[in-house]
Amino acid sequence: GFFTRTQTGALMSRLNNDVIGAQRAVTTTLGSVVSNVIVLITTLIAMFYLEWRLTIIGILVLPIFIIPAKRVGRKLSAITRRGFDLNAVMNTQMTERFNVSGALLVKLFGNRKRESKEFSDRAAEVRDIGIQSAMYSRTFLIALALVGAIGTALVYWIGGQLVISDAITLGTLVALAALVTRIYEPLTALSSARVDIMTALVSFDRVFEVLDLRNSLDDKEDAIDLPPSKGAIEFDHVTFRYPSGAEESLASLEIGLSGSVDDGPGAEVLHDVSASILPGQLIALVGPSGAGKTTMSSLVPRLYDVTEGSVRIDGHDVRDLTLDSLRGAVGVVSQDPHLFHDTVAENLRYARHDATDAEIVAACQAAQIHDVIAALPDGYNTVVGERGHRLSGGEKQRLAIARVLVKAPAIVVLDEATSHLDSENESLVQKALATALAGRTALVVAHRLSTITGADQILVLESGRIVERGRHEELLNADGLYADLYRTLVRQDLEGIEA
């Protein structure tokens, strides 16, 4: 849930800029504080030893160093936080626009000038924040230097009077004057360090805001590993609503470029759903858009916890299992599979890092994608591009199926895995799926006839409830919602053939 709400750019800003700011405070600022405190103490001891009266006069200006440092520190903290927030917005814009999909969208909708202006405006704000911060810092340092000069002048003036009255020697005055100059250097540095630390605390706050977020999904203390799974799945009176923003993320990480944020409670999308799936069965989830099909399938690998009821694998509540063992038993193929900007082989090996080359080739042959990969310039060492943009939609889906085959899970979840494909690609994907699902439990979210007519059981969802269940022929004869959806799908397929 966290990543569905969080802006990637804002999160990256905290992981990069804020962590560096916090690191600088620890390594540089704190180190200088220690050395300057030592210099300050030793210098004061020497000054008191030489002449205590002039030493007291010299340190009377100390409050003048402390008070401005406190006020300037607060002001710079506010400026720094504003600067970090603006950097996060810029990072978000770059993350979303400066990639293949984003750049293509900008060009196709003719928004290049608008995007350039928005980016320039935000960059100008960041520049102004930087100038404002520098001005406050420089003014503060100049003021400290002026105070130090005044203190030194006082020591010379009063010390001169003491020399004239033979209270101290000229040598003592010269030594004290040198030490006074020496004492103001660490005082200035410590005052600046206070400002730097107060500014760095902004970085610490922003980093720990993320680190202190409660992990909504974690292993229980007494969680057990799932034994070698047979693939039985049971939904027992499951009710589910999505968590609110406050439960899942930070408002500052959710704020869109427009300044809006959704922090309301999640909607209830599943209501008292019960279903039993036997090992090796193919179950199709069918229903209108927004019926809860994808949500239901996402509960199997425990991407979310149910609000009421339970989801069980081989009789074990998924909340009682370790996440690693549970997700090791479940493979997912989504409508838009994610591929990393890496080679074909490494994308496949992501499912199982110790997979051999022979296993990878065998998985690709079973997924009907080996010939395509072999024809690439570098074969399995070809880089697929960001999100696999060098491959077609059908090729990406077959590669995702091959990745699941490399993983070899007991349960496979197919989320609309055959949507938006031409007939040739769909035929290849169907052959790949037939291999991938053989001997495995499958939960299929589908909109196309070819993926549901052969299902062992079809669950028809509407408004978060299972309103019909049965085999294809049984549901057609019932002439209910499924029959209506089926007739719509047949009509769409016929229109696609005619087109």
Indicate whether 414 and 474 sit together in one domain.
yes
Q: Is residue 216 part of a domain?
A: no
Between CA 350 and CA 447 the distance in angstroms is: 29
Phi/psi of residue 340, nearest 5 degrees: -80, 160
Indicate whether 137 and 276 sit together in one domain.
no
Q: Is residue 360 part of a domain?
A: yes
- pLDDT of res. 150: 79
**Domain count for the chain:** 2
Q: Is residue 228 part of a domain?
A: no
Q: Is residue 474 part of a domain?
A: yes
- pLDDT of res. 452: 80
Between CA 468 and CA 461 the distance in angstroms is: 7
**What would the two tokens of residue 410 be?**
């007991």
Between CA 370 and CA 379 the distance in angstroms is: 9
Indicate whether 249 and 164 sit together in one domain.
no
CA 2 to chain centre: 7
Q: Is residue 223 part of a domain?
A: no
- pLDDT of res. 261: 46
Indicate whether 196 and 308 sit together in one domain.
no
Indicate whether 188 and 129 sit together in one domain.
yes
Indicate whether 480 and 408 sit together in one domain.
yes
Indicate whether 289 and 205 sit together in one domain.
no
Count how many residues are written for the chain.
Answer: 499
Residue where one domain finishes, among candidates 177, 211, 245: 211
- pLDDT of res. 379: 92
Residue where one domain finishes, among candidates 159, 176, 211: 211
CATH number at residue 473: 3.40.50.300
Indicate whether 138 and 270 sit together in one domain.
no
Q: Is residue 62 part of a domain?
A: yes
In three-state form (DSSP H/G/I as H, E/B as E, the rest C), the secondary structure along the chain is: CHHHHCCHHHHHHHHHHHHHHHHHHHHHHHHHHHHHHHHHHHHHHHHHHHCHHHHHHHHCCHHHHHHHHHHHHHHHHHHHHHHHHHHHHHHHHHHHHCCHHHHHHHHHCCCHHHHHHHHHHHHHHHHHHHHHHHHHHHHHHHHHHHHHHHHHHHHHHHHHHHHHCCCCCHHHHHHHHHHHHHHHHHHHHHHHHHHHHHHHHHHHHHHHHHHCCCCCCCCCCCCECCCCCCCCEEEEEEEEECCCHHHHCCHHHHCCCCCCCCCCCCCEEEEEEEEEECCCCEEEEECCCCCCHHHHHHCCCCCCCCCEEEEEECCEEHHHECHHHHHHCEEEECCCCCCCCCEHHHHHHCCCCCCCHHHHHHHHHHCCCHHHHHCCCCHHHCECCHHHCCCCHHHHHHHHHHHHHHHCCCEEEEECCCCCCCHHHHHHHHHHHHHHHCCCEEEEECCCHHHCCCCCEEEEEECCEEEEEECHHHHHHHCCHHHHHHHHHHHHHHHHHHC
Indicate whether 185 and 244 sit together in one domain.
no
Q: Which amino acid is it at 380?
A: Y
Residue where one domain finishes, among candidates 151, 177, 211: 211
Q: Is residue 219 part of a domain?
A: no
Between CA 334 and CA 445 the distance in angstroms is: 9
- pLDDT of res. 296: 94
Indicate whether 267 and 196 sit together in one domain.
no
Q: Is residue 28 part of a domain?
A: yes
CATH number at residue 136: 1.20.1560.10
- pLDDT of res. 260: 45
Edge-to-edge strands of the sheet including 268-277? 268-277, 233-241, 308-313, 316-317
Question: What's the whole-model pTM score?
Answer: 0.69
Q: Which residue segment(s) compose the domain that 141 sits in? A: 2-211
Indicate whether 143 and 196 sit together in one domain.
yes
Indicate whether 163 and 70 sit together in one domain.
yes
- pLDDT of res. 234: 96
- pLDDT of res. 270: 94
pLDDT tens, the chain, 499 aa long: 555 556 666 666 666 667 776 676 667 677 778 888 888 888 888 888 888 888 887 777 767 666 776 777 778 778 877 877 777 777 777 776 766 667 767 766 677 788 788 878 888 888 888 888 888 778 877 877 787 787 778 888 888 888 888 888 888 888 888 888 777 778 777 777 777 777 777 777 777 776 666 766 788 889 999 998 899 999 999 999 887 655 555 555 555 444 444 545 567 899 999 999 999 999 999 998 889 998 999 999 998 899 999 999 999 999 999 999 999 999 988 877 888 888 999 999 999 999 999 999 999 998 889 999 999 889 999 998 887 888 888 888 889 889 999 998 999 998 864 555 566 666 777 777 777 788 899 999 876 677 788 889 999 999 999 999 999 999 999 999 999 988 887 877 665 555 4
Listed residue (188, 159, 175) closest to 61, CA to CA = 188
